């Protein structure tokens, strides 16, 4: 079990305990101490807060079991069932299903902040997961489905001897690969599709199917699909651990770099429009920030390791 998995489970256990109605003042203090002990603890807690799901109706014995840590995964799922949050996944191929906020926490495949992963799919295709990505993989006799909950993926499909369609489902719609290499980024209220080879059929929820050809980049929202310009293959260089910038505004650059490190990374408004070009390593963001300070009229201000801003010199 990864440290990320343990942290998420601990955060859920504390939420269950505190919402049980029987938490003592001592336990409240212990929870506060746990949150303060590690920035990742507070980040996991805030993520649950952001989900806006209150853990209610859980019995005190169940909460005590969750905190005790025995058989944590089963207890977590049992708790979520009692909360009315845990259920079976929607049948494979559902178009633009409304996702529940707990689903990324229980996804089959998850990457933490700054983690990227390459998966070899059962059909010979390749799936790359960017930082902070969560998804499920469902292969059946009828279809091959990737259910993307959050984050970003790059897919290189393979020919399937069974002729099954290859699908990627997001909350905003359904994508069908047509022998292709493509990238999907799930955002808060939309998803972005960039096609590098072949083609992809994109059907927004409540909309009509359109074919997106290699070299195109589009934005899917509920019932709509919008052109975003050309698909730049350099946007997919994160699979190689690189961030490639061509006259990229500093604010956008920091948003991309910030996806690879925990905490807050931002810049002052007066330097947000400074342009950056170059190739930068994603696994050493502090070195990248030092490079920016040497080449741009900015200084890097560390309030903590997890709160960094760039300001004008």
Question: Percent of the chain at pLDDT above 90?
Answer: 58
Task: Yes or no: say if 186 and 150 are a contact pair by the CB < 8 Å rule.
Answer: yes
pLDDT of 168 strictly over 90: yes
Which residues have C-beta within 8 Å of that of residue 222, sequence separation ≥ 6?
96, 172, 204, 205, 206
- In angstroms, the CA 267 to CA 273 distance is 10
pLDDT for the residue 72: 44
pLDDT for the residue 56: 37
Please classify residue 37 by burial: count the beta carbons closer than 10 Å to its beta carbon, then call 0-12 exposed, 13-18 middle and 19+ buried: exposed
Helix (H, G, I), strand (E, B) or coil at 170: strand
Domain boundaries, the chain: 3-82, 103-234, 241-312
The helix/strand count (H/E) of the chain reads as 7, 18
pLDDT for the residue 205: 86
Phi and psi, residue 294, nearest 5°: -85, -25
pLDDT for the residue 99: 61
- Residue 4: pLDDT band with limits 50, 70, 90: low
What pLDDT, in 10s, does the model give residues 226-263?
988 899 999 999 999 999 999 999 999 999 999 999 99
- In angstroms, the CA 145 to CA 150 distance is 15
- In angstroms, the CA 196 to CA 103 distance is 29
H helices within 52-116, ranges in order? 60-68, 72-82
Give the range among 76-80, 98-102, 133-137 with minimum mean pLDDT.
76-80
CATH number of this structure's domain 103-234, picked from the four choices 3.30.2080.10, 2.60.120.1440, 2.40.30.10, 3.30.110.60: 2.60.120.1440
> Can you give 101-164 as a three-state secondary structure string?
CCHHHHCCEECCCCCCEEEECCCCCEEEECCCCEEEEEECCCCEEEEEEEEEEEEECCCCCCCC
Mean pLDDT calculated for residue range 136-144: 93
- Residue 276: pLDDT band with limits 50, 70, 90: very high
pLDDT for the residue 224: 86
Higher pLDDT, 139 or 49: 139
Residue 101 C-beta-side C-alpha neighbours within 13 Å: 13
Query: What's the CATH architecture for 241-312?
Result: 3-Layer(bab) Sandwich (3.55)
Q: Please provide the average confidence, as pLDDT, over all residues in the chain.
A: 82
pLDDT for the residue 187: 87
- Residue 268: pLDDT band with limits 50, 70, 90: very high
Task: Yes or no: say if 285 and 255 are a contact pair by the CB < 8 Å rule.
Answer: no
pTM of the predicted structure, to 2 decimals:
0.69
pLDDT for the residue 43: 78
pLDDT for the residue 42: 80
Mean pLDDT calculated for residue range 40-61: 57
pLDDT for the residue 108: 87
- In angstroms, the CA 219 to CA 255 distance is 18
Give the range among 37-51, 142-156, 174-188, 299-313 with minimum mean pLDDT.
37-51
β-pair type (216-221, 264-267): unpaired
């Amino acid at each position: 079990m990864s440290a990320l998995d343990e942290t998420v489970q601990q955060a859920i256990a504390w939420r269950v305990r505190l919402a049980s109605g029987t938490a003592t003042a001592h336990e409240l203090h212990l929870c506060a101490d746990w949150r303060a002990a590690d920035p990742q603890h507070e980040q996991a807690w805030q993520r649950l807060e952001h989900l806006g799901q209150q853990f209610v109706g859980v019995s005190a014995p169940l909460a005590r079991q969750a905190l005790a840590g025995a058989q944590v995964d089963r207890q977590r799922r049992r708790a979520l069932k009692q909360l009315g949050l845990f259920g079976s996944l929607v049948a494979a191929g559902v178009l633009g299903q409304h996702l529940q906020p707990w689903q990324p926490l229980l996804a089959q495949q998850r990457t933490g902040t700054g983690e990227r992963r390459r998966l070899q799919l059962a059909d010979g295709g390749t799936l790359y997961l960017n930082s902070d990505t969560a998804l499920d993989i469902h292969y059946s006799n009828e279809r091959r489905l990737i259910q993307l909950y959050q984050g970003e993926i790059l897919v290189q499909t393979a020919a399937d001897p069974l002729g099954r369609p290859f699908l990627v489902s997001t909350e905003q719609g359904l994508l069908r690969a047509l022998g292709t290499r493509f990238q999907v980024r799930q955002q808060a209220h939309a998803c972005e599709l960039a096609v590098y080879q072949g083609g992809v059929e994109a059907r927004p929820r409540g909309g009509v199917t359109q074919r997106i050809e290699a070299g195109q980049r589009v934005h899917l929202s509920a019932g709509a699909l919008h052109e975003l310009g050309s698909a730049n293959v350099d946007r997919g260089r994160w699979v190689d651990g690189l961030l490639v910038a061509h006259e990229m505004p500093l604010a956008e650059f920091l948003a991309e770099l910030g996806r690879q490190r925990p905490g807050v990374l931002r810049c002052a408004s007066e330097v947000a429009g400074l342009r950056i070009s170059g190739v930068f390593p994603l696994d050493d963001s502090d070195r990248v920030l030092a490079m920016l300070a040497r080449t741009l009229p900015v200084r890097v201000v560390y309030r903590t390791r997890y709160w960094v801003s760039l300001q004008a010199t």
